[in-house]
Amino acid sequence: MGGKPTRVTNVIRALRFARGEMTQAELAERVGVTRQTVIAIEQGRYSPSLETAFLIARALGTTLDEVFAYPDDDTDAPAGPAAGDVGGATDKATDGRGPRRRRATR
């Protein structure tokens, strides 16, 4: 789960406390991930899959766009061909077989 922080922001912690002080462990159990994954998502060190993001929103009793946001400003976005998969090149993280998934360690 290392790497650079994500630009996706969230208000998971605030919503957990607004929902009767739900713990990270309780949220993790409801969503089906580890507590460490919840911590990493809250801290912006990890972007959840779309499915996990929806499950987090549902567990918190709200909508996806109430939990997560992406800045409108594109100043940090890469420009040109490096921004995508061009001419058959593959991203180092995928090696052509789709994204790699790591299991959170306990």
The predicted-structure confidence for 3-46, as pLDDT tens digits, reads as follows 667 789 999 999 999 988 999 999 999 999 999 999 999 999 99
Q: Quick one: CA dihedral 78, 13, 11, 49, positive or negative?
A: positive
Domain ranges of the chain: 1-62
Q: What is 1-62's CATH number?
A: 1.10.260.40
Q: Is 18 helix (H, G, I), strand (E, B) or coil?
A: helix
Tallying the residues shown for the chain, one arrives at 106
State the pTM of this model: 0.64
Residue 85's pLDDT band (boundaries 50, 70, 90)?
very low
> pLDDT exceeding 70 applies to what percent of the chain?
65
